[in-house]
Amino acid sequence: MGAEMKRFLVTGSSRGLGLSIAALLAEYDYHVIMLARPSPHFDEAFQHLNNQFKHVSKLDCDLSDRIEISRVVKQIIDNNNRLDGIVFNAGIIHPISPMHETNDTQWEENIHVNLLSIQQMTKGLMPLLMSTERTRITTISSGAAIRPIHSWSAYCVAKAGLEMWTKCLAEEYQTHNISAISVAPGIVDTGMQEDIRNSNPNKFPSHAQFVDFFQTGALSSSDDVATKLMHLVTEHTMNQSGSRYDVRDL
């Protein structure tokens, strides 16, 4: 009897980089648990992958909702006896606005989706993470984690926090055979980039630059980025745990 298929959870896998990572993991014979907000687009993405690879499952979850996260964590634990890896890719960019003009609810939602949901989900999944032979966790970071970008205060703060969260996870759980790395994917052609281009130029001084990235073909393909990331996601070592990587250096 063959070895049990390894299982990876990928958040934000309805489109963009998350979908590309999920598809590549499935192609490499990992069982992939796709997680994203419920939408017709997510339904279509899952159906497309499931038609190609039967070892793909789907979970609808709004990561801004603590109750939803608790429900999904329980569902994952009830239906899986192991989890060999997680790719925390889900993220939101809004609000795009100077700090003194931001909507407080949007600002808090950004921090919740981009940072607090990851802590809640990881804490809840610990019974699976600490019971496997090895668990690899990858957080998708950003240049905004290490430098301020005008009008992106919530996103910058959340991603900076996520960088340290990843290092803390690596530090605290190395004796439990859990490793954690963060990866900055560069400027990728995703739905988030579309959100940035659709933002109000009067509230975002770099708007024209991001439109130019798109118009000049400077955006990377999500499939290309996923391919470059795959070895780190599935094979990074304990010695690499706690490290930050930039796709452009790979």
The type of residue at 209 is Q
Query: Domains in the chain, ordered, with CATH?
Result: 7-186+222-244 (3.40.50.720)
**Percentage, residues of the chain above pLDDT 70:** 98
- What does each C-alpha distance from 49 to 21, 36, 91, 132, 186 come to in angstroms? 12, 14, 22, 26, 25
Q: pTM of the predicted model, to two decimals?
A: 0.96
User: Which residue has 């490290």 as its token pair?
Assistant: 243
Question: CA neighbours within 13 Å on the CB side: how many for 240?
Answer: 16
Averaged pLDDT score across all residues of the chain? 95
Dihedral angle computed from the Cα positions of residues 61, 21, 187 and 250, in that order, rounded to the nearest 10 degrees: 140
Q: Residue 1: is its pLDDT beyond 60?
A: no
In this structure, the number of other CB atoms found within 10 A of the CB of residue 173 comes to 19
Q: Over the stretch 67-94, which tens digit does the pLDDT of each residue have?
A: 999 999 999 999 999 999 999 999 999 9
